[in-house]
Amino acid sequence: HSRSHPVLDAYKLAHQYHDSLLEIQGDMLILNLSEKEYLQLKNTDHVVYIGVNNDHVFDSRIKRNSLTKLVNKSSDSNVELTIPEFECYNTVEGTYAEAKSQAIAHPELVQWKKIGESWKKTQKESGYDLNVLVIGADQKNSNKPKLFLQSGLHAREYAPVALNLAFAKYLITNQGVDPEVDWILDNTEIHLLLVANPDGRKKAEEGLWWRKNTNNNYCSDEPNRMGVDLNRNYTFNWFSIENGSSGDECMSTFRGHEKGSEPEIQAIEAYVRSIFPDSRGPNVNDAAPTSTPGLFIDIHSAGGMVMWPWSTTVDPAPNAAGLQRLGRRFAAINGYRAFQSSNLYPADGVSTGLGYGELGIASIIFEIGTQFFESCQTYEQEVLPNNLRALMYAAKAAISPYTITKGPEVVGIRLEGSGQKPVPSGTNINLKANVSDALFRQLADETLEASQSIKQVLLTISHVDTAEVTKEIQLSAADGEFDSNNELISYVLNTENWSEGLYSLYMKAQDQDGNWGTVKGASLVIDNNIENQNVLPTADFSFECADLECIVSGDKSTDDGELTYRWLINDRAPLFGKSVSFNYYETGEYKIVLQVEDEFGFVASTEKTLTLQGIIVPVAVLEYSCDGLICDFDSSKSSDTDGQITHLEWYIDGIYQADYREATFQYEFPVAGTYVIGLFVVDNHNAYDFKEISVEVKDKPVPVKAIVKPVKEASKSGGALMVLLTLLISCFYIRRRWY
């Protein structure tokens, strides 16, 4: 926990200790630290404690190296094709087998190309080839804009490799079915490096918290920490800043002893240079031409972030405006936060240095999901669908990534009345879409990207069999006038006298400054042998909430066919699937919206607001009493309504008091003065409270010694009275000083 800027500091710390991160829960991190790292972190402005009741976290994310279960073996060998207990993720062998099978099945569209070898293979050990899956290469047009996607550079990041492969399969499977995919394959060449670090990936598949490659020339005395961090070994800006990487061979960010020393990086750099021309000058402030085509994306996990260069300085890159717009556009699509890399943590020798720093290609980093070993449920209901949309946009934006984001986006096309179903000619189809020139997501305190009113929206319809454009239609705003940066489109498409077959529909929009956005596509099939009768869908759902998790199900929704389900929960990224789950940690209202769409493009929605009791934070109560420089402190009245306090810490003037860990303690201050006393309490849910008070400590007064003067013998009785009176006055004076 941070005592100063909790949430922001939590994300910064998450990347400083990225290799040790188990989970982020708001402003709290769960880290797997060495004793040395624990003690170092203890001396910072963060409250660090050894957690309790976290065995479930530790077991599910660390102790997987003891698994022996084999899942989904290849039929002709004893090779695992999916990762044990994570069956949504292929192993290296499973990924390569899937990619190779796609190339064999679609030789006219797909190539599986070797670009180099892993470190182990260069040493004549087991090891792997590095391969790129190329989709849409055209020998007649080698100048098509290129999209390069890289994943698996850090071994333990399960979801990026799966996402990259899923994107490939979506493009291949939907060729000739989805007009948007057809447009992409006609206009963009896709290069997918699915597993950039296969040797390390095999270590991670065993459940090890592996990040680097497996070069055993480094940190050989500690086999589980050997290797080089490949994302600190790129040539551009290698070892160029302090704290951007480590020279310690056993550290997770070890950069290697030379730039570009690792065979994996040598292969990647050579390949990327072969497909992208150098579009940027030699000086750090040289900008690439804004017309430069091509896009480089390195997919990592976790944290839900989109980042762009530079990572070595807070100064903006020469193409900062275009990179920022692109990053914020991606964030609006996948629901992540977007910012320049260096705003979070410094790093040198990274992948975007190759793409942008060296070659001037627009370069972006995705940090997807919430964990390295992302659960299959979270991956399938959230990470995959939201980021698949982002990658589809990337494939279209590659034509002009620095400028295409100036134009408005057609957010979606829905053909109400046909949807995914063929319809007979004469059917009226209600085309609905949203067009936005302000599709950006920025942080709350950041300046909004400039946007303009929509000027025009163009619909082009062509018959796939004849490839002829049958209609070009200027669409109008639903309210009758284009006067906003966000417009709804509603247009009745009359299909009377349309010939049978498959039609491609493409929409694009232009703003008042003349900027066009990317193309959005949909398909329509006319079949006069079809007699469609459709019952409109209804949306309804059930829910069950317990132990800080809600499971919501669209089982009460009705339709006469198949439905798709989209869930919106407060301001979180959308979830997809008939049944999904989400966690709630804070007490409050959770607005749940369910949108269902049937096969004919008709939509129904419903919403419910649930009042959920999240974690109740404990209350820290600090009492004290002092006797001179010695003070007694008491936290025994601290309480926790929904659990028990499991950990407490005392701080004096911000310094952790390691010797005092009980509810009460006594402390002798060196000198009088005002001290700030802090009490930090944590409960069994890892909720916490931190209380500080100022305590004024005073010196204990020195007793005054009474002086009794001798009296004359003649007045014994009066003298005795005088002595008694003097003593009383002295004692009173002493008491006054004491208190």
Catalytic residues: 367
- Cβ(704)–Cβ(737) under 8 Å? yes
Tokens (6 digits) for 82: 């999916």
Strands of the sheet containing 673-683, edge to edge, are 655-656, 645-652, 673-683, 688-697
Give the C-alpha separation, 737 to 732, whole Å: 9
Q: Which stretch of DSSP H or E encloses residue 563?
A: strand 563-569
Whether the CA torsion 92, 95, 98, 99 is positive or negative: it is negative
What's at 240, amino acid-wise?
S
- Cβ(158)–Cβ(235) under 8 Å? no
Q: Which stretch of DSSP H or E encloses residue 182?
A: helix 179-187
Whether the CA torsion 241, 247, 251, 254 is positive or negative: it is positive
- Cβ(369)–Cβ(302) under 8 Å? yes
How many beta carbons lie within 10 A of that of residue 486, not counting itself? 15
Give the C-alpha separation, 303 to 23, whole Å: 9
- Cβ(552)–Cβ(543) under 8 Å? yes
What 3 state SS string does 348-413 have? CCCHHHHHHHHCCCEEEEEECCCCCCCCHHHHHHHHHHHHHHHHHHHHHHCCCCCCHHHCCEEEEE
Closest CA relative to residue 503, chosen from 473, 471, 458: 471
What 3 state SS string does 507-555 have? EEEEECCCCECCCEEEEEEECCCCCCCCCCCECCCEEEEECCEEEEECC
DSSP 7-72: HHHHHHHHHHTGGGEEEEETTEEEE---HHHHHHHHTSSB-----SS-HHHHHHHTGGGG-----S
- Cβ(526)–Cβ(509) under 8 Å? no
92-105 and 198-205 helices, crossing angle to 10°: 120
Give the C-alpha separation, 24 to 16, whole Å: 13
Distance of CA 83 to the CA centre of its chain: 22
Tokens (6 digits) for 93: 């062998």
Whether the CA torsion 251, 256, 262, 264 is positive or negative: it is positive
- Cβ(66)–Cβ(207) under 8 Å? yes
What length does the chain have?
A: 739
3-state SS assignment for residue 580? strand
Give the C-alpha separation, 293 to 272, whole Å: 14
Q: Which stretch of DSSP H or E encloses residue 104?
A: helix 92-105
Closest CA relative to residue 13, chosen from 41, 50, 52: 41
